[in-house]
Amino acid sequence: MSGAISDKIVREVIEKGLDSLGQSPKQAVWFCLEKEFGFDREKLPENLKTFEESLQKLFGLGYNFLKTLFMRYLQEAVGEDLHGYSSFTECVKYLYEQAEEKAKISAAGTTFEIDVPQPVTMHEK
C-alpha cells in the first residue's frame, strides 16, 4: 500500500486502526459514531475532522492510541515520515495539499524556458 494519498488509502488506514480494537468493538464504535454523533461513514475522508473529534469524545485520552495507529499505518501507506503533526486530520490535509501541488507541477510539464541573452556583435568601422 505505498504511494500517494487517496480517499481509498485514508479509509484503509482507518479500518486497519479500528481493527486493532477487535471486530465486535470496531462495529460498536461505528454504531456509536453513527447513532450518538450522527457521523456518516460514507462521507470519509471528506468528513475526517468530524470523525476525529467524535473519536476523541468517545475515547477521551484513549484516542491517542488510535491516532498513533492511524499515523503509523498512514506513514507505511505513503512512505513518508509523518512525525510532528498534532492531529491525524492535519496530517491527511497536508498530504492532500502536497499531492495537489505535485499534480500541478506534473500538469505544467517538465520543460523550463530560460531566457538566454543574445550575443552582442561588435561592428568594426
pLDDT of residue 35: 95
* For the chain, domain boundaries: 7-100
Share of the chain above pLDDT 70, in %: 84
Q: Which of 100 and 60 is assigned the larger pLDDT?
A: 60
> Is pLDDT at 37 greater than 70 in this prediction?
yes
Are 57 and 37 in contact, with CB atoms under 8 Å apart? yes
Prediction pTM value: 0.79
| Furthest-apart CA atoms within the chain: distance in Å | 95
Angle at 69 between CA 68 and CA 74, to 5 degrees: 100
> Is pLDDT at 11 greater than 70 in this prediction?
yes
Residue with cell 561588435: 122
| Cell numbers standing for residue 31 | 454504531
> Is pLDDT at 92 greater than 60 in this prediction?
yes
